[in-house]
Structure 1
Amino acid sequence: MKLVAPKLSYIEKTSFEECLKKMKFQDVHIDQNIQQRTIIQDLTFDGCLFENIDFTKVSLKHLDLIDVTFDKCDLSNQNFDHQYLNRVQFKNCKLTGTSFIETNLKDVLFDHCQGRYSNLSSSQLLNVMFDHCDLQEASFYDANFKKIQFNETNLIQSELASLHHKGLDLSTCQIQGAMFDLASLKGLIINDFQAVDLIGILGVKVK
């Protein structure tokens, strides 16, 4: 699966403080944490690289992300609901409880991320890859999947009901205890061992 990578050709290293003075996050590389508690809202991050940033003291509200890479960042419990993410990469990030409800994601990579309890309910995902991620107890309820790839991802006890997909392949993933409905199972690609986990949904008992 080929994703369109973020375009970060002209970024310059700067600080959070400088960007906040101008209220502009465009073509910047930030690798130092902000010290004071801050709210960043109603902006677009465009052409940004964030490295080793802990967003615990930062509240992100109503942000669109275009051509952005988060590398080894903590974005736990941040809210990206109802937003637009295009050509975004989350690499080795902590996304515990992070919310993407009713969000449009296009050409987005989640690579070796910790996303337990994350919420992508009713989201639109086009050309999105989850590679070696921990998404235990995450929710994808009523999500619309188109060109989605899950590689070696932990989906134990995740919510995968009311999915809209065509031939979703979860054969390399852990899906024990995941919640499906009959409609979401249609067209799903799984391996022989996973079939045992899902057969109970069909009302069949293995003797």
Structure 2
Amino acid sequence: MAGIKIQKPKMAHDLPVEPFEVKEELYYDRMTIKDCSIFGENIHRITFDEVMFQNVVFEEVSFKNIELTDCVFDHCDLSNADFSEGSIHRVEFKNSKMLGTNFSDSSLGNVRFDKCQGNLSSFGFAKLKQVSFEDCSLQNGDFFECDFQKVAFERCSLNEVNFANTSLDGVDLSSCSFDQLQVSLDSLRGCIVNTEQAIGFARILGLEIKE
């Protein structure tokens, strides 16, 4: 994985299945939430620790300042959910729909996105350390002014993603597809691309290329 080690969530096997119910302490741990919808909840500072989400739909949900530790989201729909200003560590998002999901101003560490539909998702001003995106669609996503440390994009669709004011030094985009990115010249320094992508960037920068 491009030399990036991602710690897996630390979870017990056979976590008990329990329904999601709003409770006073807003702390949920060692449980499985599955085959349900969480609708219309607007809760700040909710905490999930060692929780498996399976086939859960988050609809009109705002969980600002969410704390997620050792969690897995498997075949979930998180479209337009607000997880901004969150703390997200040792978490996996697998085969999930994340259209317009908001992770802005969040801190993500040891997080893996695998086969997720994340078009229009927002990570603006977030800190990402040891984070991988594998086989994801992130078209028109926003990574404006992010802090990247050991971030990998593998076989992702990145067309029109905004990386403005985010350093891509050491980030390998060579396996990804895109026609255009929103980047600044400083952002591109040290970015790893393939030949075709390099020609595309040269054209964006106004260089004329002789074939």
Shorter-normalised TM range = over 0.9
Sort the Cα spacing of 1:162 and 1:54 in 2 relative to 1 into closer, same or farther, 3 A. same
Compare 171-180 and 158-167 and name the one that shifted more: 158-167
- Name the residue aligned to 2:74: 71
Compare 4-13 and 146-155 and name the one that shifted more: 4-13
- Aligned to 1:86, which of 86, 89, 98? 89
Residue 16 of structure 2 corresponds to residue 12 of structure 1 = yes
- The AA in structure 2 aligned to 1:101 is S
Structure 1 position 125, deviation (Å): 0.6
Sort the Cα spacing of 1:136 and 1:34 in 2 relative to 1 into closer, same or farther, 3 A. closer
Distance between the aligned counterparts of 1:36 and 1:179, measured in 2? 34
Distance between the aligned counterparts of 1:35 and 1:131, measured in 2? 27
SS in 1 for 2:78: coil
| 1:157-168 pair list within 5 angstroms | 157-168=160-171
Sort the Cα spacing of 1:181 and 1:38 in 2 relative to 1 into closer, same or farther, 3 A. closer
Contact 1:116 1:135 in 2 (8 A): yes
- The AA in structure 2 aligned to 1:14 is E
- Name the residue aligned to 1:106: 109
Structure 1 position 80, deviation (Å): 1.5
State the Cα deviation string for residues 145-171 of structure 1 (Å, max 9, x = none).
111111100000111111124311100
- The AA in structure 1 aligned to 2:36 is N
- Name the residue aligned to 1:185: 188
Distance between the aligned counterparts of 1:132 and 1:36, measured in 2? 28
Distance between the aligned counterparts of 2:148 and 2:25, measured in 1? 37
Structure 1 position 22, deviation (Å): 6.4
Residue 90 of structure 2 corresponds to residue 96 of structure 1 = no
SS in 2 for 1:95: coil
Structure that is richer in helix per residue: 1
Compare 92-101 and 52-61 and name the one that shifted more: 52-61
Sort the Cα spacing of 1:144 and 1:121 in 2 relative to 1 into closer, same or farther, 3 A. same
Compare 195-204 and 102-111 and name the one that shifted more: 195-204
State the Cα deviation string for residues 53-97 of structure 1 (Å, max 9, x = none).
011154433311111110000001111111111001100111100
Residue 153 of structure 2 corresponds to residue 150 of structure 1 = yes
SS in 2 for 1:122: coil
Q: Unaligned 5+ residue runs, structure 2?
A: none
Sort the Cα spacing of 1:80 and 1:37 in 2 relative to 1 into closer, same or farther, 3 A. closer
Alignment RMSD? 1.8
- Aligned to 2:41, which of 22, 38, 42? 38
Sort the Cα spacing of 1:188 and 1:56 in 2 relative to 1 into closer, same or farther, 3 A. same
* TM-score, normalised by the number of residues in structure 1: 0.92
Sort the Cα spacing of 1:20 and 1:139 in 2 relative to 1 into closer, same or farther, 3 A. same
SS in 2 for 1:193: helix
* Aligned positions, number: 206
Residue 199 of structure 2 corresponds to residue 199 of structure 1 = no
